[in-house]
Structure 1
């Protein structure tokens, strides 16, 4: 298997810097896609996207693909840690961790829509390129795979799960002791799948992915001494919210508040009551759903099952952000692609 190493952007700032101790963890590092992106895509597109800043604000909130804060924000508030955006590494010292997540990221090296932007495995590889031994007291979150199935050509469950597992394994081998690993919600239940008629295919892919990921995570836990790999079962929680929306405070779990043309970067419709919806747009959850994601992750760390409210809808990121959008930023991102055997 080939891997591409994201090198630039990590050189100046090593997480061996003095860290502020907060809660039980010294730092919070996040690897993923738009469900975890607190502003990386937004920051880069402020500097010259041909279609304007992505996602547009309003109705999207301060670079998040939602109507307000996302799970990373709520979780960070709970543990007292705020990760620095990867996009801001040139001006901010990351004393509490880094959020590497990019809207559009696939599970491996690439982004589904943005040439040069890193996939989840590339995010982890780039981080480790300058932090060969990571902080054992830190918390690491890995969440990805949805874009492979929603927007990939001939997606391969084995390859997708391998990418996520390799991301987790690399972190563990480098010294990470506490790693959150999120599974996928039923992608066939998202509004984009329901509208397109692809629900059966996406549901089957989700189920196969989650089964393989659970097996792989269990093997990693057995094979790497001392690592605490913490599964976060978003799939069950999402299904529970779909089945019992009133218990979770939702009135609509099949359609979305916003209709967004992701090709032209135009919002075609919005609503006045977004938090009545599970989905803010056809692939991203509302902030109330993100609160439940954060609660689910916190409960997983405590080793408890989550009470009735817990849901999210998973690894989706806005499609068709456009290849042209990131051409202007490729030098600034300074992505070096180095191929080697994994």
Structure 2
């Protein structure tokens, strides 16, 4: 059934950050990141296949994955960085840069192709920690959402995309890395910023959809709600109720082997990234919502 549904799309295309990265940062850094490779599977920021990998496998077609770990919406606003073998941090391609790469790869997208965009979490990280992200100017969630939706518009108007799924930002206030600051004000700020960005994305995408018309299908997937429902009822998903403690807590100082703590029952692999088990659940939810949205669009079209 999954392959049958995804088979309607001739190709899946992924733009985004570490949640979608299929090894691009690993290739960019020549294996320096993400590390250790005994934790991060084949350059993924998880211990197995990502949700993007799983959907690509189900589709049966060759996918284009241009996502980079640490990526932001637009490096002119906020730039994500990774540590190179030289020890120097370099900027990674933002979602805007990834669009430019896609523009070079394909002259025009076919109506049968499906584009996923998962971005924004690292932009919000810059409000509480600039270790891995560089602020180029003062930004607001409104500015970030405007730039993100402009990217979606360019995908549609300039490249001809007809099917786009925008993944909103997960509940960053629940990240172990955010909680590890032991600063309630940062948690509150993160919660407000995430809610604000997601609300802006939702309203602006709705306006873009109305402007483009019914021949375009732009869906916002509620990744925030997906993560929240697991945190609020972890046992229903077979997840450890201690969601603030990740599976991987660091490299042992004594040089002993790295041991992942119950990755099959943990929400987080590390301070921010999901375990492969959660990626599998996410892939299933995305597929379900995509199928429902497609059915709704078909019903709406037939009733006219």
TM normalised by structure 1 equals: 0.72
Aligned pairs (5 A) from 1:192-341: 192-196=177-181, 197=183, 198-225=186-213, 226-251=215-240, 252-260=242-250, 270-303=259-292
How far the C-alpha of 1:97 sits from its partner, in A, is 3.2
- How far apart, in 2, do the equivalents of 1:44 and 1:259 lie? 25
The one of the two structures with greater contact order (alpha-carbon pairs below 8 A, sep at least 6) is 1
Q: The residue matched to 1:259 in structure 2 has which SS?
A: coil
- The alpha-carbon distance between structure 1 residues 80 and 220, as it changes in their structure 2 partners (threshold 3 A), is same
- Correspondence for 1:26: 10
Q: The residue matched to 2:220 in structure 1 has which SS?
A: strand
- Residue 180 (structure 1) aligned with residue 146 (structure 2): no
- Residue 165 (structure 1) aligned with residue 149 (structure 2): yes
- How far apart, in 2, do the equivalents of 1:248 and 1:156 lie? 35
- How far apart, in 1, do the equivalents of 2:257 and 2:143 lie? 36
* Deviating 4+ runs (over 6 angstroms): 266-269
Q: Which runs of 5+ in 2 are unaligned?
A: 1-5, 83-89, 127-132, 294-304
- Residue 99 (structure 1) aligned with residue 58 (structure 2): no
- How far apart, in 1, do the equivalents of 2:153 and 2:41 lie? 33
TM normalised by structure 2 equals: 0.80
Within the candidate set 59, 63, 68, 2:48 is matched to: 68
How far the C-alpha of 1:34 sits from its partner, in A, is 0.6
Spell out, residue by residue over 1:198-222, the C-alpha distance to the aligned partner (whole angstroms, 9 max, x if none).
Answer: 2111100000001100001101111
- How far apart, in 1, do the equivalents of 2:162 and 2:109 lie? 9
Q: The residue matched to 1:255 in structure 2 has which SS?
A: coil
CA contact (8 A) 2:39 2:47 kept: yes
Cα RMSD, aligned residues only: 2.3
- How far apart, in 2, do the equivalents of 1:260 and 1:216 lie? 40
CA contact (8 A) 1:34 1:102 kept: yes
CA contact (8 A) 1:187 1:193 kept: yes
- Residue 128 (structure 1) aligned with residue 73 (structure 2): no
- The alpha-carbon distance between structure 1 residues 156 and 132, as it changes in their structure 2 partners (threshold 3 A), is farther
CA contact (8 A) 1:182 1:234 kept: yes
- The alpha-carbon distance between structure 1 residues 43 and 200, as it changes in their structure 2 partners (threshold 3 A), is same
How far the C-alpha of 1:103 sits from its partner, in A, is 0.7
- The alpha-carbon distance between structure 1 residues 272 and 256, as it changes in their structure 2 partners (threshold 3 A), is closer
Spell out, residue by residue over 1:283-303, the C-alpha distance to the aligned partner (whole angstroms, 9 max, x if none).
Answer: 000001101111121012112
How far the C-alpha of 1:272 sits from its partner, in A, is 3.8
Within the candidate set 77, 81, 90, 1:113 is matched to: 81
- How far apart, in 2, do the equivalents of 1:183 and 1:59 lie? 26
Q: Which runs of 5+ in 1 are unaligned?
A: 1-21, 82-95, 305-342
Give the number of aligned pairs: 262
